[in-house]
């Protein structure tokens, strides 16, 4: 094993406790790292993407996925296709994309208990004529020309996120005329899904605090 030179002398111990020699080390065993284990689905909070509806070529846009939760989304359609998208989050917004301005758009505001669980983009002759968005409360919002079943999970042409997941942004592609001709959605597991895994005896914070206070004050200090 070669020894690095030109380095200052490091103390061998501090306060009587020895310090490992990180400079002059030896590899023991076979030097192989332990095998990686797959993350259980219920603990996988990575951001995933849906298939692109329409074309996956041209100028790409994809912003906001890590800013979730999504608070509002805006689309604008004209006779020449989908021409605007913008996502709004707490304290920030994605850059508006498309030929049309935000003044031409229609929005879907999401309250704190509401989130997007599915969408369908309606393509015709390489342009997107409309978008339908589903929320977790069973409602939907239409932008432009749409058709097909409106009930959640019933449209085979739509994309719906897995259980306990939510859409966190929309991404896609634009043509040379800045019309959106490809649209997809990024989604992730909701943090709230962890609550279902918590033992029932955890109870609320207030209940636990009351038990702790009572146990530390003794039997004669109860009010």
| 39-61 pLDDT per residue, tens | 888 889 999 999 999 999 999 99
Residue with tokens 């998208």: 85
- Please state, in angstroms and rounded to a whole number, the distance separating the CA atoms of residues 202 and 207: 9
Beta-carbon count within 10 A of 72 CB: 13
Instruction: Return all residues near 113 (Cβ < 8 A) that are at least 6 apart.
Output: 137
Tell me the backbone φ, ψ of residue 5, rounded to 5 degrees.
-115, 165
How many domains does the structure of the chain reveal? 1
65-115 pLDDT, tens digit per residue, is 999 899 999 999 999 999 999 999 999 999 999 999 888 899 999 999 999
Say whether 87 sits in a helix, a strand or coil.
strand
pLDDT for the residue numbered 19: 75
Degrees, nearest 5: CA angle 193-189-86: 125
Q: Average pLDDT in the 197-210 region? A: 50
pLDDT for the residue numbered 18: 78
pLDDT value at 202 more than 90? no
Say whether 142 sits in a helix, a strand or coil.
strand
Mean pLDDT score across all residues of the chain: 85
- CATH code of the domain covering residue 185: 2.100.10.30
Nearest to 165 by CA among 38, 69, 87, 71: 69
Q: Quick check: 167 and 183 in contact, CB under 8 A?
A: no
Degrees, nearest 5: CA angle 168-174-175: 170
**DSSP H or E segment with residue 92:** strand 92-93
Indicate whether 45 belongs to any domain.
yes
Provide the token pair at 189: 């597991």
Tell me the backbone φ, ψ of residue 104, rounded to 5 degrees.
-90, 0
pLDDT for the residue numbered 38: 82
Least confident of 9-18, 93-102, 202-211: 202-211
Q: Quick check: 166 and 136 in contact, CB under 8 A?
A: yes
Q: Has this prediction a pTM greater than 0.85?
A: no
Indicate whether 218 belongs to any domain.
no
What is the share, in percent, of the chain residues with pLDDT greater than 70? 79
Q: Average pLDDT in the 24-51 region? A: 81
Indicate whether 209 belongs to any domain.
no
- Structural domain including 69 reads 41-196
Indicate whether 132 belongs to any domain.
yes
Say whether 108 sits in a helix, a strand or coil.
strand
Indicate whether 133 belongs to any domain.
yes
Burial class (CB in 10 A: 0-12, 13-18, 19+), 22: exposed
- Please state, in angstroms and rounded to a whole number, the distance separating the CA atoms of residues 144 and 83: 11
pLDDT value at 134 more than 90? yes
């Amino acid at each position: 094993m070669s020894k690095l030179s030109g380095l200052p002398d490091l103390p061998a111990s501090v306060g009587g406790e020895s310090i490992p020699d990180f400079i002059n080390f030896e590899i023991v065993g076979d030097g192989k790292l332990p095998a990686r284990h797959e993350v259980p689905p219920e603990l996988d909070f990575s951001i995933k993407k849906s298939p692109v509806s329409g074309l996956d070529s041209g100028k790409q846009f994809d912003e906001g996925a890590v800013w979730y939760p999504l608070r509002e989304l805006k689309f604008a359609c004209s006779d020449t296709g989908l021409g605007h998208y913008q996502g709004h989050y707490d304290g920030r917004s994605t850059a508006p994309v498309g030929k049309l301005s935000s003044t031409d758009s229609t929005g879907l505001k999401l309250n704190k208990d509401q989130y997007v669980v599915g969408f369908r983009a309606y393509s015709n002759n390489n342009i997107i004529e409309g978008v339908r968005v589903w929320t977790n409360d069973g409602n939907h919002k239409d932008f432009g020309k749409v058709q097909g079943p409106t009930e959640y999970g019933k449209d085979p042409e739509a994309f719906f996120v897995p259980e306990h997941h939510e859409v966190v942004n929309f991404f896609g592609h634009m043509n040379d005329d800045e019309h959106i001709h490809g649209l997809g959605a990024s989604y992730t597991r909701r943090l709230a899904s962890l609550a279902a895994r918590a033992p029932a005896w955890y109870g609320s914070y207030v209940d636990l605090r009351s038990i702790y206070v009572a146990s530390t004050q003794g039997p004669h200090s109860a009010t």
